[in-house]
Structure 1
Amino acid sequence: FFGIDFSYYWLHRMSHEVNLFWATHQTHHSAENFNFSVALRQGFLQHYFSWIFYLPLALFVPPQIFIIHLQMNLLFQFWVHTEIISKLGPLEFILNTPSHHRVHHGRNPYCIDKNYAGVLIIWDRLFGTFAAERKDEEIAYGLVYSFASFDPLKTQVMSTIISTCLNNTFTSFSLVII
């Protein structure tokens, strides 16, 4: 359980910090409302690289156990995509809660690159990526720099990175963008 949750933390964090991964993950964050349906908005290309983060677990965790724990982790994450549930008391210190995940999906400056946890928020607390929801500031959802399209193919095909690379005259800089 801890290994899968730890691996998920790094997968999710890199999905925000590495442009190539963000290009597919931004589909999930492009929703300007926050509800259970947002959990289902996933980039289809993400599944082609996510296995890399779980690979070290293959040495220690039997496949059946891995699959069960991964599915439980993903089911838990469906539950945190809601505005209906507010704070959960002492559980806020240990678990990723809807309150923590609202911060993660916010485009407010204090929300950017925060709260990557799957189930346990301890990883964010440990690695300095934790931020609590503020009572005095309403969270705005969606991308900081949104793309002007509701076309599902354009949101999936990494058009932002491709257009940035094509508009760049220096090949080496294009590789840095990725």
Structure 2
Amino acid sequence: MIKRILDTNIERAEQIGSARLLASLSTDVSSVTVAFIRLPELVQGGVLTVGATLYLAWLSPAMLGVTALWVIVTILIGIRLVARVYGHMAKLREIQDRLYADYQSVIEGRKELALNRDRAEWLYRDVYTPNAKDCRRHFILGDTYHLSAVNWFNIMMLGAIGVAFFWLTAWAGRLCR
């Protein structure tokens, strides 16, 4: 990221603004790091899903159909929850740019703000505080939808196991008669 900033021409860097560049360095870099840390989990989950699907298809194609339908409904609802997470995270990113601009204003204007307490109070009350409240609100909403999506998937996968056991007991009951 530093290399890209250094390679960017001055006009473009000025157009982007130092607050946005600082926000990118502090938040985007950690997001990319987390994505790479989670990549092995994604690969492992994909391999496990393919293996379980093939095994279930071998055991019972009908059960695979029921399970596939269950999983499709789960995914469709989950996608809506995740879309809300992304919406709030995008808004949060915009708000963080504004917060970094506020931080920069305070740091660069600290002498003037120390001399003019009314302006300092205005900056805190009318500029920083609304941005900080918006940041908190979108962070909480994004996190809430994220946890809802995770819990939705967990509950529905446990439900799929319950459906499989129900199917198995109903099917086994027919065979024993």
Superposition TM-score tier, normalisation by shorter sequence: under 0.3
Higher relative CO (CA 8 A, sep ≥ 6), structure 1 or 2?
Answer: 2
TM-score (ref. length: structure 2): 0.24
Give the greater-gyration-radius structure (CA).
2
Larger relative helix fraction: 2
TM-score (ref. length: structure 1): 0.24
